[in-house]
Chains A and B, each alone.
Chain A
Amino acid sequence: MTGVLVAAGLVVLAVAISHRRGLGLERELAITATRATAQLAAVGALVTLVFEHVGLAAGFVAVMLTAAALTSGHRLRGIRRPVMIAGAAIVLGAGTGLAPLLITGAFELAPRELIPVAGILIGGAMAATSLTGRRLLEDVGESMPAIEARLALGVPARTALQDCDRRAVVTGLIPILDQTKNVGLVTLPGTFVGLVLGGASPVEAARVQLIVLLTVMGVQVVAAVVCAALVTRACVLPGERVEPPA
């Protein structure tokens, strides 16, 4: 309980910093922390049940995907069908990672293994989708003179948006690239820590962590690329015009 209080105290500190620096994130930080508390409490209560029933596990994964799509979709406000776009990027990204892991037997289809792995991959896809999509929308809004200069030279709208697309994908992948580069040096990721705390040997924990980390990198590349492609498409209007986000 002491640990939870310390962590909650750090949230209060974060809110205070946001207030002092005028970041305007106080409300979002507080809601996010409260929401995480409620969600983890619910998962803690339900997880035993979910781990024992495949149907419930499938429903749980569906809830994960829906929540991730809504969260990333919220970051893509300003274009048409943001939740659909975020959902497609997350499903394709996470699916690209999950399918080979299950098919090859790296992880079992049993709920006890499926849910944690699916959660990590969906979470990774969501992070890349939010960051890539948000960056792309900001870039399109800021780069309209350059985009229209390209359009005026007769290139298709998608070509005019290529630079924005590329920059957004690169930005969206910075966290996972940095995390993967520094794993073991700067960070000890959650899977490794969890397995060691749960009694696994450090070597086994490192093996599983490596599988997860490399898979998440692939997942995020797919999610970022799909997200950028769909957001770009949403910005293109008939007649090879580009609509900046609202």
Chain B
Amino acid sequence: MPPQAPILAVHGLSAIRARRVVLEDVALEILAATVTALIGPSGAGKTSLLRCLVRLDEPAAGSVRLDGADVRGLDAGLLRRRVALVAQAPVMLPGDVRANLAYGLDAPREAELVAALEVADLDADFLHRPADRLSGGERARVAIARALTRSPEVLLLDEPTASLDARAATAIEVLMLRLAARGLAVLVVTHDVAQVRRVATRAVRLEGGRVRAQGLVAAVAGSGR
């Protein structure tokens, strides 16, 4: 079987933040229908990398290619709909869950919003719940559902289970696997090695802004701290 072409490919990426080099010559590939774990110690550059992938930060050097096309040639809004980023502490926008899911969409159909909720394992009643009264787990799933309403090809999750209890974290892990099974490329930042082994097929280890290892989880997650 020929090797699978990456949906997202990073070459020679370097980034500077507050006069500090946070990423240096990073190269990695993210495959469709796969959960890839991005691991490494705090300050390794994991969040900086996610920000560069969706152009919230501009890298100092290197390139990011989405399905073969340099992202600098894409409209930034379109890029962020195709590569959806869910931040570590997702911000709920004012209003109810429906307003959050529909934000920035052009006349979304109710069925699309409900479908996104259902993928995130939330029922249609959630549409009318005030977004500022959700639990941590519900908030994480609504944030993922909100990203899914853009029909992304790649989903970037920055420590989605960091502040959740075990039950809520398990629900997010199940969701990641379900999304990968539907064809999405999922890149998840996590410090939890056991979680990496449960959900990821591939892993990338980042340390000091550099990629130290990448490949199958068995090889990468067991190759360091």
Chain A residues with a Cβ under 8 A of chain B: 145-146, 148-156, 159, 163, 237, 239-241
Contacts and interface: CB of A to CB of B under 8 A. Distances in A.
B146 interface: yes
Nearest to B50: A152
Contact of B87 (A145, A156, A159, A237): A145
Given A156-B77, A159-B104, A239-B76, A151 B56 contact: yes
A80 to B, nearest CB: 17
B77 A154 contact: yes
A149 B84 CA distance: 10
B150 interface: yes
B104 A150 contact: yes
B135 to A, nearest CB: 18
Interface stretch (B89-97, B169-177, B207-215): B89-97
Given A150-B93, A153-B84, 9 more contacts: A145-B87, A145-B89, A145-B91, A152-B86, A154-B77, A154-B104, A239-B58, A240-B76, A241-B55
Among B55, B72, B76, which residue has the most Cβ atoms of chain A within 10 A?
A: B76
26 contacts: A145-B87, A146-B93, A149-B87, A149-B90, A149-B93, A150-B93, A150-B103, A152-B54, A152-B87, A152-B147, A153-B103, A154-B78, A154-B79, A154-B80, A154-B81, A155-B77, A155-B103, A156-B77, A239-B55, A239-B58, A239-B72, A240-B55, A240-B76, A240-B80, A241-B55, A241-B76
Contacts of A146: 91, 93
Nearest to B91: A149
B107 to A, nearest CB: 15
Interface in B41-69: 54-58
Given A239-B55, A239-B76, A240-B76, A155 B87 contact: no
Contacts of B85: 152
Contacts of A145: 87, 89, 91
Contacts of A152: 54, 56, 80, 84-87, 147
Contacts of B84: 152-153
